[in-house]
Amino acid sequence: MLLFIYKAFNKLFSLSNSLYASFFLNLYLKIYNIKTRGRIRTNGKPYINISKDGHLEVGSNFVMNNGKYFNQIGRNDICHLIVGKDAKLIIGNDVGISSTTIICEDQVVIGNRVKIGGNTVIYDTDFHSLDFLKRRIGTSDENSTNTSPVIIGDDVFIGAHSTILKGVNIGDRVIIGACSVITKSIPSDEIWAGNPAKFIRKIE
């Protein structure tokens, strides 16, 4: 009996938390005129920071899982969507992410029906200059940072704890193994894994 009550309480808590977070997230998006093609569902509260001249566009049926109650894989972070000045983050339809961080200083495009595993990070920037002298001065460091778009095709599955770096173009239906570091573009219908990720085989 106690187990039944405990499970019922957890279910009620999860549902109420999801409804509460989703309501305020959609309200936030509406206030800031962020373009969506349907309501966004978020389990737990994410962190979203869109710069004044940044652009976020989200497709229909977008789902986010955040924190220890909704992404119990051992690394219980929330999702972070951060879009810099004049940058564009475009997310397609039927996309699901868990404890995922996307830092967009140039452009990140995610296709339709993409699944992104827990604790994955996507960066289209180096964050700092590669010139050590410029890194010594804040403004020089910031102005000399390299960025390059990240493009992820349709029906891609990215395993948990992976890192997608700037300038990468991932083709349709690609599968990326867990804990992979993607440093170069991947053609459609291939499986890659490792650090740095390497070709494993074609998808038949």
Domains present along the chain, CATH in parentheses: 2-202 (2.160.10.10)
| Residues with a known catalytic role | 128
At residue 16, the pLDDT reads 55
At residue 108, the pLDDT reads 98
At residue 32, the pLDDT reads 61
At residue 128, the pLDDT reads 94
- The total of other beta-carbon atoms located within 10 Å of residue 138's CB is 9
What residues in the chain have per-residue pLDDT under 70? 1-36, 38-39
At residue 6, the pLDDT reads 43
At residue 76, the pLDDT reads 76
At residue 204, the pLDDT reads 82
